[in-house]
Amino acid sequence: MKIKTILVTQPEPVGEKSPYHDLSKKMSVKIDFRPFIKIEPIAGQDFRQDRVNILDHTAVIFTSRNAVDHFFRIAKEVRVLVPEMMKYFCVSESVAYYVQKYIVYRKRKVFIGKQTFGDLMDVIKKHKDEKFLVPCTDIQKQEIPELLDKAGIAYSKAVIYRTVAADLRDLKEVKYDMLVFFSPAGIESLKKNFPDFTQNGTVIAAFGPTTVKAVRDAGLRLDIEAPLPEAPSMTGAIELYMKRAAKGHTGPLAPPPPPPPVIKTATKKPEIGVKKAMKAMVKQVVKAVNPTSKTKAATAKKTAKPAKKK
C-alpha cells in the first residue's frame, strides 16, 4: 500500500526547517500534526502537599521542555527564588537551549546529554555529590528512576504536571494511512477517543521502547519501530519504510535482534586410556596400603654393599 497521508501525534514543528517538511516534499506525502495528549499543570498548593522543597536540592534534571516550563512556574507559585548556583542537567541541546528562556545562561552551570536519558547519566555520574530534583509528569518513564537508583544518585521526584488524553472527536471520520506515536500516553489517548478503532491496513510507527511496548500491549500491529541503526530519527525510519514498500517489500521495519549471549563451555580433558587409568589406580592403592614401602626400598638400595669382585 502506498502511503499518502500521515498523522504525527505531536504539535507541528515551528519553522520550515523541520525534517517532516523535508520528508513531505521528498516523498510526496501529506503530513498532519495533532497532539494526542495535553498537559495540565499541578497547582502550587498540591505541590506543597508532596513536601518537596526545591531549595533542598543543588541540581535539576530536565527531560523535556514541559519540565522546564512547569518547574519555573511552580517555583514562582510557591514563591521560591531559584539560587543562581543551581545546576541544570538537560537531556539534549534543544532542552538546554530552551532553559535560556528562564535563566541568564552565562551565570548558570548547564550540563547536556547527547539525546537519551542514558546518555545524560554519563554526565550525572560525574556529579554524585549533588542532590538532584527531577521535575516530571504523573506518567514518568520507568527508565529514569531505575538508572538513578542503580547509580546511587541522591534525588527527589517532583510531579508538577499531568499528562491527559486530548479531545480528538473531530478526527472520528478522518482516515490516515499512517499514525506516528512517541509515548505510551498517545496510545492510551487513541484507545480512549476511539474505543472501536480497528487497524486494518493503517501503518503504525512508534518511537522508543516504552512506546513500542504500549503498541503491542494494546494488541496493535507495529509496522515501524524506531530508532533504527540506519535511521536514528523517526522521519528517517518513515522514509526507509516507504522506500522499502515502493520496492514491494512487506512486513514490519524493526531493529535487528540482539546477538545471543555467549555461553562459555568447559573444555573437556582428553580421555585417559583404560590401561593407563588402571595403572594409576593400582599405584594409589599400593601407596594407601603401605605408604612407606617405596621409601624403604629406596633406602635399602642405597645402603646395600656392592658385591666384591673375585
pTM above 0.75, yes or no: no
Judge whether 239 and 223 are in contact, CB under 8 Å.
no
Judge whether 180 and 238 are in contact, CB under 8 Å.
yes
The predicted structure's pLDDT at residue 141: 79
The predicted structure's pLDDT at residue 304: 53
Judge whether 170 and 194 are in contact, CB under 8 Å.
no
Residues 6+ apart with CB under 8 A from 122: 113
3-state secondary structure of 245: helix
Rounded to 5°, the CA angle 31-35-41 comes to: 160
Domain boundaries, the chain: 5-36+178-246, 40-164
The predicted structure's pLDDT at residue 282: 62
Domain 40-164, CATH:
3.40.50.10090
* 5-36+178-246 and 40-164 have identical folds: yes
Domain 5-36+178-246, CATH:
3.40.50.10090
The predicted structure's pLDDT at residue 209: 86
Which amino acid does the sequence have at 143?
E
Mean pLDDT, each 10-residue run in order, the chain (310 residues): 92 83 95 94 91 95 93 95 93 89 78 87 94 91 90 95 92 91 94 93 92 95 93 94 90 81 60 61 63 51 52
Closest of 186, 223, 183, 188 to residue 204, by C-alpha:
223
The predicted structure's pLDDT at residue 264: 63
For residues 91 and 82, give the distance between their C-alpha atoms in angstroms, rounded to a whole number.
20
Judge whether 71 and 135 are in contact, CB under 8 Å.
yes
Residue 301 has φ and ψ, to the nearest 5°, of: -65, -35
